[in-house]
Structure 1
């Protein structure tokens, strides 16, 4: 099983690329979705997150992801702590999902995650890295329009992530998503051919 990482800054369009890959028949795992399950009341990380961050991150007895996001995007130490809690569990879940996919006969899958290859090195469990790029101003506008986020919140979240440019040297494939959807579809079609040929 070859697992490729799909990453890019917030608002770059990595989720759109993930949808196109899935539509082409490539299984796509989503690290955010796995993290959300881990934060559910019965999830493996719920108790520890509440212990570390307090009940202020709860709403109706469940972790309020927006409250938690506001806290960790404003505080780098809180962000490091949350990542230390979630990432080992997310990696375990990814390994389980990959094993299931391999049993089903899949030889290729993609994991979509914003925080891949942070710190200047590629994760050893990845066959390679796909980086989705887009100019900052387009990303900002997409997040303001698509998610209704205020500009200052968008800028705070962008600043909290490793700049995508720093991942360029690690990327095996770079997908420019600064244009129209048709251009992105064409680039992803080419990527699918290349991934299947490797």
Structure 2
């Protein structure tokens, strides 16, 4: 039986990784799209060739993806970002599909930062959105990435608002208190299992 696919999303700094780890603790397999994308960008010869064609030789240093350079290139250039995603996303989707086939569980979680922004919500049976107050998210990212407020806000402006995402999601996790977040995850886990076994 193919597992039910649950998308896990949320704006930058909302705490998707924390929530993903709580699901992992409940023995739910979790696929972190961003991690896998970076791994494929380093591993796939086809992706490497296309990215070098798109960004130039600086895209890789000593055969490894030059993340700071790529980030600086796509930071304020939506066109370049779209072109890069068109190269990477299909490969990640194929990798994910093969990964799902190997999982023998009721459901799997796919953690993706931009489900709605790239119009891929139709690929999921359920979607969980992680939300947190904007100032909390800002503080988390500035601390985590040693980033400037302007830079974090620019990323936020490219993402849908929590309200927009909430309207299109099946479950909402308010991630402000870790103990409470864990309880919300356990509650959603129970609901998902019930719903899947009924189906």
Moved over 3 A (4+): 41-44
DSSP-derived class of the 2:121 partner: coil
User: Any gaps of 5 or more consecutive residues in structure 2?
Assistant: none
Do the aligned residues in 1 keep the contact of 2:106 with 2:193 (CA within 8 Å)? Answer: no
The corresponding residue for 2:92 is 90
The corresponding residue for 2:37 is 35
Q: Say whether residues 1:127 and 2:125 are aligned partners.
A: yes
- With structure 2 as the length reference, what TM-score do the two structures score? 0.90
Superposition pairs of residues 3-18 of structure 1, within 5 angstroms: 3-18=5-20
DSSP-derived class of the 1:4 partner: strand
1:162, 1:78 → 2: CA distance?
20
DSSP-derived class of the 2:143 partner: helix
- With structure 1 as the length reference, what TM-score do the two structures score? 0.91
The corresponding residue for 2:136 is 138
DSSP-derived class of the 2:128 partner: strand
2:150, 2:45 → 1: CA distance?
32
1:112, 1:47 → 2: CA distance?
27
Do the aligned residues in 2 keep the contact of 1:37 with 1:43 (CA within 8 Å)? Answer: no
Selected match of 2:149 from 128, 148, 151: 151
1:153, 1:31 → 2: CA distance?
22
Deviations 1:148-195 (A, max 9, x none): 112222122222223332222210001111x22111111111111111
The corresponding residue for 1:66 is 68
Q: Say whether residues 1:192 and 2:194 are aligned partners.
A: no
DSSP-derived class of the 1:25 partner: coil
How far 1:44 sits from its partner (Å)? Answer: 4.3
The corresponding residue for 1:22 is 24
Superposition pairs of residues 40-59 of structure 1, within 5 angstroms: 40-59=42-61
Do the aligned residues in 1 keep the contact of 2:7 with 2:126 (CA within 8 Å)? Answer: yes
Deviations 1:4-23 (A, max 9, x none): 00000110001100000001
2:106, 2:82 → 1: CA distance?
33
Q: Indicate the larger mover: 17-26 or 159-168.
A: 159-168
DSSP-derived class of the 2:186 partner: helix
Cα RMSD after superposing both structures = 1.6
1:118, 1:161 → 2: CA distance?
7
User: Any gaps of 5 or more consecutive residues in structure 1?
Assistant: none
